[in-house]
Chains A and B, each alone.
Chain A
Amino acid sequence: MNIADIITPAQVDALIQFGITLVIIIAKIVVVLAIGLLHVAYATWFERKVIGHMQVRLGPMRVGYHGLLQPFADGIKLFFKEDIIPAKADKAMFYLAPVIFMAASMVNLSVIPYSRNFVIADINIGLLFIFAFAGIGVYGIFISGWASNSKYAFLGGLRSSAQVISYEIAMGLSLVGVMMMAGSLKISDIVKAQEASVFGMYAIPQFVAFIVFSISALAETNRTPFDMPEAESELVAGYFTEYSSFRFALFFLGEYIAMIIMASIASVCFLGGWTLPWYITNYVPFINYVPGFVWFLMKVYAFIFFYYWIRATVPRYRYDQLMKIGWKILIPVALANIVVTGLIKIIITTLKGA
């Protein structure tokens, strides 16, 4: 039988095309994962340095120049530590929890547009996808708290899941305003809409939403002042009290990736992603030659710095106070923001029509 009978040349071309696309996608994934993990490693270094200097000390200084190799030393140390599983733990669940937690936050890396044409999957429901996976991440937290069979981990898991679920609502509502202005859930569309808008970035017209989002992002990633689940002085280390070695590292990785994701969302939804506002590019024309991902990353770093700054400044909320802020302040404010945005949008369209 001739091979041409089974498959036509056009199909072969299509297959080759498909193969090339696949290779490109895999290459993209590898690049994003590698760079993402490198960012996690250096986010920890950056955090220790920033907080160190704010607290009149130096931070890591020993491993490499100014402690630059410290993240690798930490990683190696964690990798070679003894993996301890509590005797009465639910083993299967105990194994599964950190994997769920990290996978759920890592998947989000795929829908973030890093530059004009660089995104792994530019799907129509990008923002919704991120919320969905943030929701799945809660399973990791809750299962780890339950499976550890420890009271501290249990309380930490309860606190954390309640907190993450509550603040997800506030965060989702705060982004509704952005979606309404952009008219799309596709993240690259949101960035493009910002580029075309009068303000250049949505942080200006949507400043209320931006504030609500920033606060919820802190709570969503369990950072100070909302670091309730891992409030060291209360619950030792919260839901991952019983975890050690690389399983602990997975939680740690997941948490930092979640932080970077949050910073990326802030960057693409409020700060204009890879673009700069027209009023800057118009007056400083040569700035257009700088590749887009530089601006994207700078915005992300600025947001991460803001996280660290807060950590070095404020004390911790109490659990009930945190819930009160989420439900009684942030959610109503975000809802009001949606109403006002809608009204203004209607007024503008009416005026345009007239």
Chain B
Amino acid sequence: MEPAEKIFETRELNVNMGPQHPATHGVLRLVLDIDGETIVNVTPHVGYLHRGIEKLGESLSYFQGLPLTDRMDYVSAMSNNIGYCVAVEKLYGIEAPERAKFIRTIVGEVSRISNHLLWLATHALDIGAMTVFLYCFREREWLLDLFEMISGARLTVTYPRIGGVRNDVSQEFLDSLWKFTDEFPSRILEYETLIDQNRIWLLRTKGIGVISAEEAVSWGMTGPTLRGSGVSYDIRKHMPYDAYDKVEFEVPIGTEGDTYDRYRCRMLEMRQSNNIIRQLIEKLPPGPVMAEDPKFTMPPKDKMYPITHPEKDLAYFILEKACKGCGMCLRACPAKAITGEKKAPHKINQALCVNCASCLVTCKFKSVTVVAGGKGLSEEKLAELAVAPDQLPEDIKQAQQYLTRQFEFVKKGPKVPEGEIYVATEVPKGELGFYFVSDGSAKPSRMRVRAPSFIHAGCLPRLCEGHLIADVISVIGTIDIVLGECDR
């Protein structure tokens, strides 16, 4: 008798998984060619979340480009921010103060733990362990609350700055984080009791998506995905940035290169991160949290307070003689306190003025001045007390200079030396690299992001070879991709 294949026409079934599918973590689309339940071929399609972040970065100054990085890997936005800041700092040639470096390392590791928690949650949920999902979210919530405490945002934090961090951390934050690190190891044990030695979990993860060390390197894998194959490559250890050279930690590596080893690597990494945070909190040095560089950093806000603090006893006044009525200040005033016809002297309505100093910085004819102790005085009295801007007291003049610098900084950004730079940092998902080409202007001429998720998504066909449909799910989980970063 003839074999069945010759009697019946058989062909592979073509199944479209995604872009809307519960297990593809966002908008990954996989086209599966399946023979029964066995995978013949997997074709990943990316780009459904493309927002042109690299191109957007080229139209913004380096300082303005920072919030874009939050939107790449929204699961661990803090790490992306740090990667961007470290890269731009190197380009500028400045260095963050010691305390800022420590704080950045702390929040970077917090971000790593929160990312790995989300990875474990979704990975376990995909394989069917639903309880782990909710346990992980319980801890992640704590970490997101900590982020909210320091930056006001839970996901898109934009907390690190080029040259430091936005604000110092409070004692309350450190106490809460310390308490977290006390409890977290026992929580990891809790997840592990559910899955680590579970026979079903072992059956589902051991020997799935195996990739050898050489192959993993040549596919460009990085991070825990690579370390699972037994390659000890961790930028934090081998090219330390921030405060990683001041802490002791191990780089956990696997042996088999399968899903289970990658899972173990990440679990051990969470413990190491916990350790790093504890060491850093203990060693946290005092000092400023923002570098002070006359060119590349924004001047500290308190330096401008002599003229911008809304509670200060001062008043802004337009000198009638000097005012040409150009209308620049009128347009710049955010409180709409300035009135006046074109080519006629303008007036400031003192009741509406918020002491923002916009008019002071905008005026080209030095007609706007500050009257110290002029709060609540009448128009005539102010005219009597007002002096020309160059005769103002020294502290006000200095504040005015700082203010002008800030205006320049925000509106145009500092000019950057010509050249190109590639700086990589270890984010939870792997190596996140920023490549900048500078043409000497304030904006990058080319910004390129090496996103680990994109490269790992490319490995999917290799990892899924010869497995079953159910294994595709565990493989997607094990490479830990976020499509926001993959598509950018």
Contacts and interface: CB of A to CB of B under 8 A. Distances in A.
Interface in B115-153: 124-131, 133-135, 138
B130 A55 contact: yes
Contact of A54 (B127, B128, B131): B131
Given A56-B138, A315-B204, A320-B37, A231 B128 contact: yes
A229 to B, nearest CB: 12
Given A224-B128, A315-B129, A55 B13 contact: no
A224 B128 CA distance: 8
A51 B14 CA distance: 36
B469 interface: yes
Nearest to A317: B200
A313 interface: yes
A272 B204 CA distance: 37
A321 B203 CA distance: 8
A225 B200 CA distance: 9
Interface stretch (A182-190, A232-240, A259-267, A343-351): A232-240
A318 interface: yes
B135 A234 contact: no
Interface stretch (B15-23, B321-329, B388-396, B420-428): B15-23
B135 A233 contact: no
A114 interface: no
B194 A232 contact: no
Nearest to A314: B200
Nearest to A312: B131
Contacts of B473: 233-234
Contacts of B127: 233, 315-316
Given A315-B195, A315-B198, A316-B127, A234 B470 contact: yes
A159 B36 CA distance: 10
Interface string A110-142: 000000000000000000000000000000000
Given A233-B473, A318-B471, A319-B468, A312 B130 contact: yes
Interface string A294-307: 00000000000000
Contacts of B469: 155, 234-235, 319
Contact of B135 (A56, A318, A320): A56
A231 B204 CA distance: 14
B122 to A, nearest CB: 9
Interface string A216-246: 0000000011010001111110000000000
A311 interface: yes
A24 to B, nearest CB: 45
A151 interface: yes
B131 to A, nearest CB: 5
B201 interface: yes
B203 A233 contact: no
Given A318-B468, A319-B470, A233 B23 contact: yes
Contacts of B126: 233
B203 A318 contact: yes
Nearest to A54: B131
Contacts of B472: 234
A51 B468 CA distance: 29
Contacts of B201: 315
Nearest to B13: A151
Q: How big is the B interface, by class?
A: 20 to 34
Nearest to B194: A313
A312 B124 CA distance: 12
Nearest to B15: A151
B478 to A, nearest CB: 13
Contacts of A311: 130
A153 to B, nearest CB: 12
Given A225-B200, A315-B124, A319-B470, A232 B22 contact: yes
Nearest to B32: A151
Contacts of B200: 225, 314-317
Contacts of B134: 55-57
Contacts of B13: 151, 155
B470 A225 contact: no
B131 A231 contact: no
Nearest to B134: A55
A269 B237 CA distance: 63
B283 to A, nearest CB: 34
Nearest to B471: A318
A54 B131 CA distance: 8
Contacts of A159: 37
Interface in A46-88: 51, 54-57
Contacts of A233: 22-23, 125-128, 473
Contact of A317 (B135, B194, B195, B203): B203
Nearest to B125: A233
Contacts of B131: 54-55, 312-313
A227 B468 contact: no
A318 B204 contact: yes
B477 to A, nearest CB: 9
Contacts of B468: 318-320
Contacts of B203: 317-318, 321
Contacts of B129: 314-315
A224 B135 CA distance: 19
A163 to B, nearest CB: 12
A22 B471 CA distance: 55
A46 B126 CA distance: 24
Given A152-B15, A315-B128, 19 more contacts: A55-B133, A56-B138, A225-B128, A231-B128, A233-B125, A234-B23, A234-B470, A234-B473, A311-B130, A314-B128, A314-B200, A315-B124, A315-B204, A316-B204, A317-B203, A318-B468, A318-B471, A319-B469, A321-B203
In the A-B complex, list the 6 residue pairs whose CB atoms are closest, starting with the nearest.
Answer: A316-B128, A233-B23, A315-B128, A55-B134, A315-B129, A233-B126
6 contacts: A151-B16, A159-B37, A313-B131, A317-B203, A317-B204, A320-B468
Interface of B: 13-16, 21-23, 37, 124-131, 133-135, 138, 194-195, 198, 200-201, 203-204, 468-473
